[in-house]
Structure 1
Amino acid sequence: MLAIRLPEEVEKRLDALAKATGRTKTFYAREAILEHLDDLEDIYLAEQRLADLKAGRSSTVSFEEIMKRYGIEG
């Protein structure tokens, strides 16, 4: 279960969309979350990898090295 407070204008827009389409506000809230969850997770992962790189806990590999490592001609 999840309860969220939305700005009044967003709530009105969501309500209007739900009424116009015959779907529920919950349907559209769920769709919005699912649509953006992958992006948010990717951003978090990228930020963590960048922090690891800056802290010296990881290193980079060049594109050329990847191509060579996997025997791909460029």
Structure 2
Amino acid sequence: MARPLPKDIERDIADTAKRAEIRSVGLACLILGVAFGFGFGAAVFSPVGNTYYFIIGAGVVGVAWFLAVRARSNKS
């Protein structure tokens, strides 16, 4: 069985994990918020914008996902 980590290293690992979890939850909320916002905008302004709002919203969500995947792969 492995020896336990020293308390200072354990605390640093816990802080890093907590920050990473907060970032991932924040990004998920950002993606959902953008998707909801563009969906709401498309519903309200549908006679004016037709499918342009959906295309712009899908593009923004796609770019956010792409940047999140790229940032995750750079850290690994």
- TM bracket, shorter-chain basis: 0.3 to 0.5
Higher Cα Rg, which structure? 1
Higher helix share: 2
Structure 1 length-normalised TM? 0.44
Structure 2 length-normalised TM? 0.43
Higher relative contact order (CA 8 A, sep 6+): 2
